[in-house]
Structure 1
């Protein structure tokens, strides 16, 4: 039981799933749906400060390496292309909408990168990502609850 809870949290921290995978995983393992929601949501929120630390400090060092720089430019261009119009036009709300869509490629990792690339203030970017994560988690939580009830 504790192992499943930890795995759900790790999925929520992972760029390969975020809370979009952590919440259903925990609920399908029979864990308390309220605790799973809270833990996975908070774990997913924790990604933003980790990403900012990475982007502001570690990223600068790694950009000296050619392979990393090429990869970083590619990821940056994809983030700007995928979310650029919304963020440029709507700012805070653009990040919220982009992060809250529970689809692959959207979420706090992409939202953090986009906020960084568009030089959004950290507190505002954190708030936008948190609101987006909350609504994305809520959508996934409700959908999982309905599927568990057969509805």
Structure 2
């Protein structure tokens, strides 16, 4: 079981994938797709992925201040990363302006590429969101994303196990 937890943790840590990939991978990775035989039950998969994603968001948020302070001493960093940071700020700003920290939670909770805890943490940091407010938004957002991804994955799993689908695949 430790091997499965480590694997799910590593997939969850990948930027742009996060729990949006690790939950489906963990749930569908049983006998059906043969990705990781003997994976944990789906509630355990969801718990591991959600907890890791929450911790990831907080870690990114807390590390940004000292890291950016150090990196901004280098001209190459300013030239290359300033546009990326500005884009992250621009993606999140409409949500924060309109909804406050709930906007950050919604942004993190939207299970689409380009949203998630990495972008949410960077954007919240750049917009000056308080650590406590980000922590609440991060937890709510990850729970939203985890719920949506789990529901869709379980529906997909139920659809994949239907006899008619097996018949179609054989013919």
Report the TM-score when normalising by structure 2. Answer: 0.82
Q: Once the 2 structures are TM-superposed, how far is the Cα of residue 27 of structure 1 from its aligned partner?
A: 0.9
Q: Which residue of 2 aligns with 1:80?
A: 89
Structure 1: runs of 5 or more not aligned: none
Q: Once the 2 structures are TM-superposed, how far is the Cα of residue 22 of structure 1 from its aligned partner?
A: 0.9
Provide the rounded CA distance (Å) in 2 between the counterparts of 1:2 and 1:143: 26
Q: CA RMSD in A?
A: 1.5
Hey, which bits of structure 1, 4+ residues long, moved more than 6 A? none
The answer as to whether partners of 1:4 and 1:29 remain within 8 angstroms in 2 is no
Give the number of the structure whose alpha-carbon radius of gyration is greater.
2
Q: Which residue of 1 aligns with 2:98?
A: 89
Provide the rounded CA distance (Å) in 1 between the counterparts of 2:140 and 2:94: 19
Q: Which residue of 1 aligns with 2:127?
A: 118
Structure 2: runs of 5 or more not aligned: 31-39, 161-171
Provide the rounded CA distance (Å) in 1 between the counterparts of 2:73 and 2:83: 15
Q: Once the 2 structures are TM-superposed, how far is the Cα of residue 126 of structure 1 from its aligned partner?
A: 1.0
Number of aligned residue pairs: 151
Report the TM-score when normalising by structure 1. Answer: 0.92
1:12-67 CA deviation, whole Å, 9 max, x = no partner? Answer: 12213111011111112223100000000000001122212321112211111222
